[in-house]
């Protein structure tokens, strides 16, 4: 869906240009429809022309299933079959699909695939049990794009269950314009030697109240996301290169925005504003974090150095408004990214991320400028 000239001449010209340089055009309301879903089926794959930035642009880049004709799915059985069929390269999700108990989808050992949602597409899990929770587990995959989907769990409940989505031992993955909310154990994790990952224009939130009394011991496990699963996972050294750009950790997130171990993680132009937060960025064992031009507003502990075992935590040009707790790095210089990335001044980040053109499942399909 090409950006129109009259739009570029509007009062929002500067902001629009910044978004064009980055990628995808969005709708007026996260999750709301800008196109009739029936009209997207023939267009979406061929118009996917945006180019990934950040770590997923390296190591040969990330193109997913390219311009292959989408396989359109509207129910769980069709969704699972399409995702698990190695010959299906582009999957288009229409409407709301509920994941049944024990129905978590294993997406394994595939290369070159795109999964995207039409406007308003949603994957929902209502199971809070340890074994049966979660929506999708991406494992040992390469060159994958996941775009414009809402992943909705049943609410946080500490049963040592599953996240809404997990990237496990996978390389060159681009997660773009998705919303992750109300996961059981968390919203979205990246772990186990995964590498060259970009998460762009995504929103993380908890809308449902947490459930107390879980076997894991926490009565409020609204912990959004991990990079690296444990201090003992030393195979993650020199892996877990992840970029978060123009993402939004919104209301309800308590911690892990994200929590990082080992990885070279670049956080740029993100917005943090959960008033129930206890820690935002959490720098764990051997984490190497570069946080630049982000905005922290009405949160606690924007930068949590935890037990001070990080390799480097470096902050550049961030904005802190009405925050309490730590706002400093650990004094060490972080890695230098091997890529260039379009970067807004921090003064423009909140408006860009939260506006009608902001983070979330907002592009109406797989359409990119």
Write the Ramachandran bin of 298: left for phi over 0, alpha for psi from -120 to 50, otherwise beta.
Answer: left
Q: Is 77 helix (H, G, I), strand (E, B) or coil?
A: helix
How far is residue 149's CA from residue 123's CA, in Å, rounded to a whole number? Answer: 7
Q: pLDDT tens digits, the chain, 369 residues: what are they?
A: 333 333 333 333 333 333 333 443 333 333 333 223 333 333 333 344 578 999 999 999 999 999 999 999 999 999 999 999 999 999 999 999 999 999 999 999 999 999 999 999 999 999 999 999 999 999 999 999 999 999 999 999 999 999 999 999 999 999 999 999 999 999 999 999 999 999 999 999 999 999 999 999 999 999 999 999 999 999 999 999 999 999 999 999 999 999 999 999 999 999 999 999 999 999 999 999 999 999 999 999 999 999 999 999 999 999 999 999 999 999 999 999 999 999 999 999 999 999 877 899 998 889 764
Give the closest residue to 147 by CA, choosing from 169, 168, 118, 167: 118
Can you spell out the DSSP letters for 325-359?
Answer: S-----S---PPPSS------HHHHHHHHHSTTSS
User: What's the rounded Cα separation, in Å, for the pair 42 and 63?
Assistant: 19
Cα Rg, the chain, nearest whole Å: 19
Q: Which residues of 100-125 are buried (b: 16+ CB within 10 A; e: fewer)?
A: eeebbbebbebebbbbbbbbbbbbbb
Number of H helices, E strands in the chain: 5, 27
Residue 177 contacts residue 201 (beta carbons within 8 Å): yes
Calpha distance 237→179 (Å, rounded): 29
Cβ neighbour number for residue 251 with a 10 Å cutoff: 14
DSSP structure class, residue 255: B
DSSP at 55: G
User: What's the CA gap between 20 and 26, in Å, rounded?
Assistant: 11
Q: How far apart (Å, rounded) are the C-alpha atoms in residues 363 and 266?
A: 24
Cβ count within 10 A of residue 46: 14
**Residue 291 to residue 235: CA distance in whole angstroms:** 24
Alpha carbons 278 and 299: distance in angstroms, whole number: 8
C-beta separation of 106 from 81 below 8 A: no
Q: State whether the Cα torsion 48-243-143-188 is positive or negative.
A: negative
**pTM of the predicted model as reported, rounded to 2 decimal places:** 0.87
């Amino acid at each position: 869906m090409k950006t129109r000239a009259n739009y570029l001449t509007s009062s929002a010209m500067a902001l629009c240009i910044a978004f064009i340089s980055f990628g995808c055009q969005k709708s007026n309301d996260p999750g709301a429809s800008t196109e009739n879903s029936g009209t997207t089926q023939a267009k979406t794959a061929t118009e996917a022309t945006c180019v990934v930035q950040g770590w997923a642009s390296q190591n040969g880049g990330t193109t997913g299933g390219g311009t292959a004709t989408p396989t359109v799915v509207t129910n769980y059985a069709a969704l699972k079959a399409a995702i698990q069929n190695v010959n299906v390269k582009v999957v288009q999700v229409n409407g709301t699909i509920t994941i049944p108990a024990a129905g978590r989808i294993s997406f394994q050992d595939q290369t070159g695939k795109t999964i995207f949602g039409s406007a308003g597409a949603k994957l929902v899990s209502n199971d809070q049990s340890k074994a049966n929770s979660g929506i999708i587990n991406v494992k040992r995959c390469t060159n994958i794009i996941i775009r414009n989907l809402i992943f909705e769990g049943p609410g946080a409940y500490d049963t040592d269950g599953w996240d809404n989505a997990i990237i496990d031992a996978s390389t060159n993955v681009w997660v773009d314009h998705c919303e992750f909310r109300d996961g059981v154990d968390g919203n979205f994790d990246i772990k186990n030697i995964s590498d060259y990952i970009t998460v762009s224009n995504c929103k993380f939130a908890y809308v449902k109240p947490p459930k107390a009394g879980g076997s894991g011991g926490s009565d409020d496990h609204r912990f959004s996301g991990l990079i690296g699963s444990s201090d003992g996972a030393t195979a993650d050294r020199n892996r877990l290169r992840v970029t978060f750009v123009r993402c939004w950790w919104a209301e309800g997130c308590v911690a892990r925005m994200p929590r990082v171990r080992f990885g070279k993680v670049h956080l740029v132009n993100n917005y943090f504003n959960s008033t129930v937060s206890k820690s935002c960025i959490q720098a764990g064992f051997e984490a190497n974090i570069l946080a630049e031009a982000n905005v922290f507003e009405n949160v606690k502990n924007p930068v949590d150095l935890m037990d001070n075992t990080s390799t480097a935590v470096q902050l550049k040009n961030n904005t802190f408004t009405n925050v309490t707790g730590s706002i400093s790095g650990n004094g060490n210089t972080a890695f230098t990214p091997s890529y260039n990335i379009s970067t807004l001044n921090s003064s423009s980040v909140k408006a860009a991320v939260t506006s009608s053109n902001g983070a979330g499942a907002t592009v109406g399909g797989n359409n990119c400028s």
